[in-house]
Amino acid sequence: MKKIFGFGSKKGVLPFGSSINLVRDSGHGINFQPRYHIQDKDLRKIHNAAIVGNVAKVQHVLLFGKNGLNDRDKMKRTALHLACANGHSAVVTLLLERQCLLNLCDNENRTVLMKAIECQEEECVTLLLEDGADPNVMDVSGNTTLHYAVFCQNISLAAKLLPCNAHIEARNKDDLTPLLLVIRERRGQMVEFLVKKETNIHAVDKMKRAALMLAVKYESANVVRLLLQQGADIFSQDVFGWTVEEYAVIGGFNM
């Protein structure tokens, strides 16, 4: 530790005593369930057609007015939600051509774009973004599409979102930016991507823990090295007054 940061522990004494358990991480807030749990009784005819990618059936249902373009099932999902979650780009294209509503949310406030990203359906993501889907809607936990993309470790999708005005510093209800989220989740490659995109490495979470502090806490040596190279502040303090050095001592962090 002394070799990394240029200073040692305070007289060899652990600075927090038994209080270390006060720093507890709440969940990341992403209810990661890539595919919807489907029950036929919850679905209307247009949903049944969309979920299996039956373009002709979707057209038939719409033509005869059996269901509307934006009708919801019991979980507030539209046909577009179900088509995106299952990668049926032909159905997505049809629904977009019919000018369905792009930013409707399911019962967890997830948009179709959010669901397509969660399910890693890149073609559907591209279609939605080209049609003007909003990347900055927040789900029930405050996560945006960029939180989902980085959580899924999908650099390609994250790179598609940023030119479409996705907020790189968006904060969820745990006060985590995408950078802070991926450090907590030990996604080192995504950290490198976000740093290259000039994310704020000095951002702090709701306990005032900066990116470097979290990297030390979660023993991400490569991330620590990267953040130090970018000029991260080694003297910042969290809400308890603890520093990066003290996190390293209590966690036994060693480069």
pLDDT tens, residue by residue, 13-36:
322 222 222 233 344 555 555 666
Determine which of 30-44, 111-125, 203-217 has the lowest per-residue pLDDT on average. 30-44
Say yes or no: 133 and 234 in one domain. no
Number of domains in the chain: 2
Say yes or no: 37 and 163 in one domain. yes
Q: In this predicted model, which residue has the larger pLDDT, 28 or 38?
A: 38
Say yes or no: 119 and 161 in one domain. yes
Pick the closest to residue 170 from 140, 142, 209 (CA basis): 142
Say yes or no: 20 and 35 in one domain. no
Q: pTM (2 decimals)?
A: 0.84
Q: Which domain holds residue 207?
A: 1-26+174-255
∠ CA 6-9-10, rounded to 5°: 120
Paired tokens of 175: 């006060």
In what helix (H) or strand (E) does residue 182 lie, and over which residues does it extend?
helix 178-184
Whether the Cβ atoms of residue 111 and residue 104 lie closer than 8 Å to each other = yes
**Among candidate residues 126, 153, 170, the one where a domain is terminated:** 170
* pLDDT tens-digit readout, 81-137: 999 999 999 999 999 999 999 999 999 999 999 999 999 999 999 999 999 999 999
pLDDT class of 3 with cuts at 50, 70, 90: very low
Q: How many CA atoms lie within 13 A of 124 on its CB side?
A: 28
Which CATH number characterizes residue 35's domain?
1.25.40.20
Dihedral sign computed on CA atoms, order 62, 68, 73, 74: negative
Which residue type occupies 6? G
Say yes or no: 165 and 228 in one domain. no
Q: Which residues face 204 on adjacent strands?
A: 210
Say yes or no: 165 and 178 in one domain. no
